[in-house]
Structure 1
Amino acid sequence: MGSEKRTTIDTEVLIVGAGFSGLGMGIGLTREGQRDFIIVEKADEVGGTWRDNTYPGCACDIQSHMYSFSFEPNPGWTRLFSTQPEIWDYLRRTANKHNLRRHIHFGLEVTGARWDAGAARWLVRVHTGVEYRARYLVAGVGALHIPNIPALPGIERFEGETFHSARWNHEYPLAGKRVAVIGTGASAIQFVPEIAGRVAGLTLFQRSAPWVLPRPDHAVPLPVRLAFRLFPPLRRLYRAALYWLNESAVLGFNGHPRLLEVLERLGTRHLRNQVADPVLREKLTPRYRIGCKRLLGSNTYYPALARPNAEVVTAGIAEVREREIVDTDGVAHPVDAIIYGTGFHVTDAFEYLDIKGRDGADLARRWREEGIQTHLGITVAGFPNLFFLLGPNTGLGHNSVVFMIESQIRYALDAMAMAAEHGAETLEVRRTAQAAFNARIQRRLAKGVWSTGGCTNWYLDAKGVNRTIWPGFTWRYWLATRRVKPRDFELTVRREPSVDEPGAPSAPRSLTALPMEGR
């Protein structure tokens, strides 16, 4: 039996993922005149999170004009907070406008990546067996792509329908069914009101009550949309106003919890106004500081749970049977379908990575043993020419992550330009720079509401360390990533062997470090 020949595709830059991060990186490279790049996407269309999440009521919780690329404005957003179909359409139109589809290889799931020190290239495998060889590897997969499905006792016996909100089964008729919803996160807040009026019974299993604020959503009038289209400075001014309004929330999140009391009073009044039943209102009252978990906004969530066909269960789940769920109080709840609104693997999502860096270093193992550490959420010591977009500690609880993504794209492009300027094959962040960055942000995060607010949230890893959130103003992150600091990196150039060296000229070429004190 002959050995199977592996197909290898060469490219300068390989981007993984075609969501906001991957598309933005592709556009950034194009604008810099770089055409030698490939985007590999596991699905058959662009969009990432906004392609996958099609559950009823899916929408963004950041204002539309902020949750979009600054260089690709959309004056025609129809709502203050856009729905999933409109955001997905925006991403598809953006990909088409910038001719990115010619660079995208669809239907390819990355199974692993390995740094080849001799060639100074990343070797990236996909599930078909094809291998990509690239100088630079950009991971734009994001954090919200691996559904978190809890292991309920006895779930294998259940005879009804089960699915996660991110894998919504639109073929299953919910009308007239008894439906159990597990979880009360951002997705459940949106889809519960959409299905409550259709199902025969809705049983919501709640571990902890979320803070829910009024949602100031409304349609954007046509004259306003026309004004934004005809007078771009007006649209830019509006976006700037939204940005600074959102930024103001960070003061309360970072060591000034008393500033959050205003929001807590607003949330408490919102609950009191929408839920008359004191027993239900008690169940829905949060027991932790606002902001400790992701802030949620809805005008329809509480009324949906106040419906006669809805029930909120605060006891845990003891067992799932063929057609019912038994809670820890011993009460059996008949159900025909279970919908998981339990979010995604976030801090533990990195354990699914199979990335081997310099000297065979295993990224998932290192982060599991030492904790997730990067420099600015973008680069990792020991992993040359690798960039993360929306990586660890660059998530937000108050403003648009698209702003963060743009900052990271600019930083990665500047790093590549620095390497090209010095004729370097590789660039790698120094461990000292990485350690200093992590020490700095963890000191700030320790004082934040995410760590001190009295809740359990997905921002923290198994050891209670916040590996998700950026602990401060986003304009500070913009400043930190505006230009690469050469002293933070070690660059290496390829050195040809001298004719006087033993074994020349067949001796392998080597990489020599450059001193990096300036540009």
Structure 2
Amino acid sequence: MSTRNAGRRVRVAVVGAGFGGLGMAIALKRAGHHDFVVLDKAPEIGGVWRDNTYPGAACDVPASLYSYSFGPRYPWSRRYAPQPEILDYLRSCVETHGLGPHLRLGEEVTDAVFDDDRELWNLRTAAGETIEAEVFVAACGQLSRPVVPRIPGAERFAGRAFHSARWDHEHSLRGRRVAVVGTGASALQIVPAIADEVEHLTVFQRSAPHVVPKWDRALPAPRPPGRMRDLRHKAARLGWWLFNESLVSGLTRRWPTVALTRRGSDAQLSKQLTDPGLRARLRPATAVGCKRVGISSTYYPALQRDNVTLVTEPIEEMTETAIRTTDGTLHEVDTVVYATGFAATDFLGPLRVRGRGGADLARLWSEGARAHLGMTVPGFPNLFLVYGPHTNIGAGSAVYMIESQIRYIRAAVFELAKGTRAYLEVRPEVAEAFDAEMTRRTRRSVWATCTSWYRHPSGRVTNNWPGQTVEYRRRTARLNPADFRPALPRQRRP
């Protein structure tokens, strides 16, 4: 699927081949820019939809909204698309838009250094190669680095243990005693999918999530392409977008609209759980939305099965054959699945990025990532982030936000192509004003009320956009040259 680009110098280098990186590549190609490469450390495209192949993996946003606004139209089998279909959809996008020659898969970028003298980015790969690029687009995503908790004695465990994003498909769960550690979005899909296969399933819960019904259904066989099919797709996309937009203010401004989500969660909890004790342990203690709201109609019924146990006591240690909780109970297991999420606030993770004068981005972000409009950072010319800080959302489709960023970055590439600027570097005062706004607005949001993957250990809410997606689309619709420092090309400098 990948063809190596032999050139060392490109106009645009994109790191990451998930929704963000591929969408950026498609936008560049559709706009007539062909001098770019997309690099990814994995041998396959897909990002999170390549990595997360656990049983039951699916999107919790309707496929009509969780897809690019441009084609190809994909024949989704269900309203909430399963992982294999999403990955196949991305493959079809690669094929339709002829991205194959631009892909460099299996090549991990370890360092990105801005050359002050030549005003270029030097990207170094794990294999020792250097790629020069005028524009560096980091589309690494927020959910690409799994987190495994440090549990005393874990090294002694004699069974199999793996993270949900690194599922061991060679290890059959049939007839096994399995532990699922965590009750986030992945666990809500895994538990119902494996409950009838295992001998016994023990679910370790640190805090109970809010879970609302999943209005999933099989979709009719796709009709031949035509105007009516496109209109139906657009109507579904618009409807789900408006529905999610109506919920956002309940999270960002804590408006009464949050009551809709709370009622859905409470009603499902009361209707599906007949055991009062189990219901009490599954009643969330946190405000709706401060942690990611789960979407499932099968999770609660799975927990009521005779072969499923919910454990709410904290884990103390692991032995060779069991997990011990703080009440002294030994839970015998032979397989441990860590459904414990990702290092979401790390953003670029192990990729080392240095800007003008050797400025270290990791050091700059030591108290939490920050970037103007989630995309540009002072001191790092021609660096653009896709799905960076303050671009995740509490309700709706991340793909909608990603497309807003892609359009903005494409406009930046056009601006640079004029030849009137050596580079685009956001002015510090512009970035600082935006960061102050984000800090002020997120402090009054529901996300500031509890600890979650939305918050950096420093306490700052770094991941989420504190408004509706339409506001973000409006604010990124036009690149304002005045937001960037003057930078004349060398040939025009005095």
Instruction: Give the TM-score category using the shorter length.
Output: over 0.9
1:270 pairs, out of 249, 264, 268, with: 268
**Matched letter for residue 425 of structure 1:** A
Q: Deviations over 1:405-427 (max 9, x none)?
A: 11111101111222233522211
Aligned match of 1:450:
447
**Matched letter for residue 383 of structure 1:** F
Aligned match of 1:256:
254
Aligned match of 1:410:
407
Q: 1:324 to 1:494 in 2, by over 3 A?
A: same
Aligned match of 2:183:
184
- C-alpha separation in 2, matches of 1:255 and 1:399: 16
**Matched letter for residue 309 of structure 2:** E
Once the 2 structures are TM-superposed, how far is the Cα of residue 264 of structure 1 from its aligned partner? 1.4
Aligned match of 2:3:
none
* Contact 1:78–1:219 (CA under 8 A) maintained in structure 2: yes
Aligned match of 1:219:
218
* Contact 2:140–2:348 (CA under 8 A) maintained in structure 1: no
Do residues 401 (structure 1) and 389 (structure 2) align?
no
**Matched letter for residue 354 of structure 2:** K
- C-alpha separation in 2, matches of 1:165 and 1:122: 35
- C-alpha separation in 1, matches of 2:408 and 2:174: 50
Q: Which runs of 5+ in 1 are unaligned?
A: 1-6, 497-510, 514-519
Once the 2 structures are TM-superposed, how far is the Cα of residue 40 of structure 1 from its aligned partner? 0.8
- C-alpha separation in 2, matches of 1:115 and 1:168: 37
* Contact 2:109–2:351 (CA under 8 A) maintained in structure 1: no
* Contact 2:60–2:80 (CA under 8 A) maintained in structure 1: yes
* Contact 2:110–2:350 (CA under 8 A) maintained in structure 1: no
Once the 2 structures are TM-superposed, how far is the Cα of residue 226 of structure 1 from its aligned partner? 5.2
Q: 1:121 to 1:156 in 2, by over 3 A?
A: same
2:379 pairs, out of 379, 382, 386, with: 382
- C-alpha separation in 2, matches of 1:41 and 1:131: 15
- SS of match in other structure, 1:60: coil
Aligned match of 2:456:
461
**Matched letter for residue 54 of structure 1:** T
- SS of match in other structure, 2:12: strand
Aligned match of 1:337:
335
Once the 2 structures are TM-superposed, how far is the Cα of residue 258 of structure 1 from its aligned partner? 3.2
* Contact 1:227–1:234 (CA under 8 A) maintained in structure 2: no
Q: Deviations over 1:243-267 (max 9, x none)?
A: 1111101121122343322321221
2:485 pairs, out of 470, 474, 490, with: 490
- C-alpha separation in 2, matches of 1:231 and 1:123: 46
- SS of match in other structure, 1:483: coil
- C-alpha separation in 1, matches of 2:30 and 2:378: 28
* Contact 1:65–1:73 (CA under 8 A) maintained in structure 2: no
Aligned match of 2:300:
302
TM-score by length of 1: 0.91
Once the 2 structures are TM-superposed, how far is the Cα of residue 353 of structure 1 from its aligned partner? 3.0
Q: Deviations over 1:34-74 (max 9, x none)?
A: 11101111111211111111000000011101000001152
Do residues 97 (structure 1) and 92 (structure 2) align?
no
Rg larger for? 1
* Contact 2:114–2:121 (CA under 8 A) maintained in structure 1: yes
Q: Which runs of 5+ in 2 are unaligned?
A: 1-5
* Contact 1:430–1:490 (CA under 8 A) maintained in structure 2: yes
- SS of match in other structure, 2:37: strand
Kindly tell me the number of residue pairs found equivalent between the two proteins.
489
Aligned match of 1:56:
55
Aligned match of 1:516:
none
Q: Deviations over 1:64-114 (max 9, x none)?
A: 010000011525222111010111000001001111010001110111110
What value does the CA root-mean-square deviation take over the aligned residues?
Answer: 1.6
Q: 1:435 to 1:512 in 2, by over 3 A?
A: farther
Once the 2 structures are TM-superposed, how far is the Cα of residue 222 of structure 1 from its aligned partner? 2.8
**Matched letter for residue 365 of structure 1:** R
- SS of match in other structure, 2:14: strand
- C-alpha separation in 2, matches of 1:221 and 1:340: 36
Aligned match of 1:471:
466
- C-alpha separation in 2, matches of 1:210 and 1:24: 32
Do residues 169 (structure 1) and 129 (structure 2) align?
no
- SS of match in other structure, 2:79: coil
Aligned match of 1:357:
355
- SS of match in other structure, 1:276: coil
Once the 2 structures are TM-superposed, how far is the Cα of residue 441 of structure 1 from its aligned partner? 1.9
- SS of match in other structure, 1:105: strand
- C-alpha separation in 2, matches of 1:75 and 1:322: 47
Deviation >6 Å, runs of 4+ = none
* Contact 1:254–1:445 (CA under 8 A) maintained in structure 2: yes
Do residues 391 (structure 1) and 391 (structure 2) align?
no
Q: Deviations over 1:440-486 (max 9, x none)?
A: 1221111111113xx32110111211000001111111111111111
- C-alpha separation in 1, matches of 2:476 and 2:464: 16
* Contact 1:65–1:239 (CA under 8 A) maintained in structure 2: yes
- C-alpha separation in 1, matches of 2:7 and 2:36: 14
- C-alpha separation in 1, matches of 2:59 and 2:254: 27
Once the 2 structures are TM-superposed, how far is the Cα of residue 13 of structure 1 from its aligned partner? 0.6
* Contact 1:228–1:235 (CA under 8 A) maintained in structure 2: no
- SS of match in other structure, 2:365: helix
TM-score by length of 2: 0.96
Aligned match of 1:206:
205
- C-alpha separation in 1, matches of 2:110 and 2:351: 8
Aligned match of 1:428:
425
- C-alpha separation in 1, matches of 2:130 and 2:462: 31
